[in-house]
Chains A and B, each alone.
Chain A
Amino acid sequence: MMFPAMALWLLQDLNSEFESQYAKVRESTARAIVTIDVDREAEEKQPRGSGLMNMLQGGSRIFAKRPKAPVTGLVVDPEGWILTTRYNVAGTLKGIHVTLSDGRKLDAELKGYEMLYDIALLKVDAKDLPTLATRRLEDLGVGDAVVAIGAAPEGDGVTLAQGIVSALDRMSGFGIQHDARLNYGNVGGPLVDLSGRLIGMTCKVSSLGTGPDDPGQNSGVGYAVTWERIANSLPSLKEGSKSRAPFLGIQGGDGDGGVKIQDAMKGLAAAEAGVQAGDVFLEFGGEKVTTMAQLKTKIERRRAGDKVKIKLRRGEEVLELEATLGERPEGQ
């Protein structure tokens, strides 16, 4: 009589197995989370995305507007370096104020950013700040449970949003996709596994859902740039590097066994290298390209300023040119 009763009691306990796991995640990650208050000039501009898209989506512009509230950041280096999304600290800023997990309030300086991966690095005057252990990315797979951690603006504790890894090989190979719900507020914080180990930083939430580059708030299509990519970028970000996306300056589409160029924009990298309308891209940086999406991905893996060899077909000839990648102009 006693044994079945005990078994039933233990089964009930197991029903909360996930809940206690999440409690562990919360407790172990809270120490590395910071709240960021951004003091900025009122934003006149519409959220990112063409004006036409915004017009078509009428009343939903309301959802895209940035609310006046603190955002989340993550300590990435004990010597006072804090990561958040570029969009969180975009605009004309009057000040950035950070609240650490121990309650200290400090002013922060925006040191550097990378627009393409939506990363921004802040510096505060503090030492020995707690950071998160990292997760081995090689055995991360689609279906692994993930948790997006955000700072609770009330100042006590953190917020959690749970999901799974939805896909690998996103953001030109530097990020993963997941379905933990991201909104203004928790984006810029860490994405961790069920042991609280860092997978990456949640990013790319700034608009209505205009496409793969910005799926919109709360869509369930969320991105996180991996901690490896962040680690690679840290040295130059610490030095003050502020990079816009690398840009070739072409318009084209799939066709003719490669990418057919409709326009090589005047004054930009491709045109300067000698690319003409009608050319068909065959190779970029020594790698074959067959679609525009593929070419775009290969460009985005580079940095502005990189010199890249291009192979293209013009009529009967096959040409090899060298382009120096520029920066994506405003509004592109």
Chain B
Amino acid sequence: MYALALASALWALQPAEAAEAFQKRVKACAEKASKASVFIGGGSGFIISDDGYMLTNFHVSSTEAKETQVQLMDGRRLPAKKVAADATGDVALLKIECKEPLPYVEFGDSDALEPGQYVMAIGNPFRAGDAATGEKRYPTVTLGVVSGIHRHQNNYRDAIQTDAAVNPGNSGGMLVTLDAKVVGINGQIATRYMNRVNSGVGFAIPSVQIQRFLPAFKEAEGDGRVERGAIKGLSFDPWNRATIPWGTPKIAGIEPGSMADKAGFKAGDLVVGIEKYDIASIRRYEGVLCTYPEGSDVKVRVKRGEETLELKVTLERARSSRPVGEGPPAGSGWPGFTAEDADGGVRVIEVYPNSPAADAGIQPDDLVTRYGGRSIKTLKGRTGLYSSMGRHKPGDTIVVHVKRGEEEFDVDLRLAEAPTED
């Protein structure tokens, strides 16, 4: 009897009604989550608690002053202070000052996501929400599915991949499941030929990573930095890393006296798990670790011969690999490209995604001949790029002269803060 009733109920639901029910769910999610969306600088952010804590990408907040202003959907402009950031992980925490409680979104669980699941992105692509006819400012809401999880993409090493349309300006904005719970921060898109519009491949920083960093963020004050963790003293077979990116990571060597040594790792160990995560490749190993801040205690499972052991290790700070003395002075404004000596200037090798150089359209192989008003002949030395870089601070806007093939032109670069590398 029950089955008959159920069958009748299912039969009664017409296609139009089913579509209507789905739309209602999407609309309700958009309405609830949009209230917590903020406009900040050239990007987006969102509020995570009613006392005003908000999140965005580091590459969005790094071009803003320590005390800046954000705008809510209802039109209110409120002051916000930078609290802390994971520069490499591209997450920044700010605090909005407001006497009344603010609308906010709760966290979902990014580890529970499955490819095919609906997600919604909310932000301000192409500054589409800047020109409003009244006080209310509409952020942009787009819908798509989770395309992939635990993606390793540049400095986003445990990213959610989605086909929800995200474009320049969506950075820092929320990615939510249809229950209006945050599962990620949108921050990167995969594009070709510098054509910086969405191609159906967007990457978001997962909520589990953000939630692990939050306590450390809140303890740091006044624009502090919290770095991702690493297990120091372990080295992997370069073959593991380069040629065959899949396959369980095998420890090639242990540095005596290091954290790894003290924790009990041995050469020849296969790293099979960290906490609840199974590790099937070096990329996954890196991906899991980047979701933990320095100082975190993690349990690592290794296979040694027939045995599986659980080793406890405290993560240390992932440190910069650039040798001291090379490069521009610490604290200088960061343009976001690497270069090498060339005839008549310096030639761009790499342009970091979402950096000031990327925004300005600088490309690999460009020849830089002037930087911030000075002629550039080399990388180092008195007339070098590093010397010129040292004369400008994060937030400064400088003019850079570029030669590309037959063309020559000037670009404006708004310098940002340098992320640390590991």
Contacts and interface: CB of A to CB of B under 8 A. Distances in A.
Interface string B167-180: 11000000000000
Nearest to B18: A17
A20 B164 CA distance: 23
Contacts of A181: 165
A253 to B, nearest CB: 13
A195 interface: yes
B247 to A, nearest CB: 36
Given A169-B133, A173-B133, A145 B126 contact: no
Contact of A59 (B28, B134, B139, B193): B193
Interface in B15-43: 15-16, 18-19, 22-23, 26-31, 34
B242 interface: no
A37 to B, nearest CB: 27
Interface stretch (B3-11, B82-90, B211-219, B270-278): B3-11
Interface string A212-240: 10011111110000000000000000000
Interface string B120-150: 0000011111111110101111110000000
A167 B39 CA distance: 14
A220 B140 CA distance: 10
Interface string A60-93: 1011000000000000000000000000000000
Contacts of B138: 142, 167-170, 177
Given A60-B195, A143-B30, A166 B19 contact: no
B34 A142 contact: yes
Contact of B10 (A7, A56, A208, A298): A7
A4 B3 CA distance: 6
B128 A167 contact: yes
A301 B26 contact: no
10 contacts: A18-B19, A21-B18, A141-B30, A141-B31, A166-B141, A169-B138, A215-B125, A219-B126, A220-B167, A293-B132
A179 interface: yes
B196 interface: yes
Contact of B409 (A52, A168, A293): A52
A7 B127 contact: no
Contacts of B19: 17-18, 21, 145, 194
Contacts of A143: 23, 26-31, 141, 143
Interface string B281-312: 00000000000000000000000000000000
Given A59-B193, A142-B138, A143-B31, A172 B10 contact: no
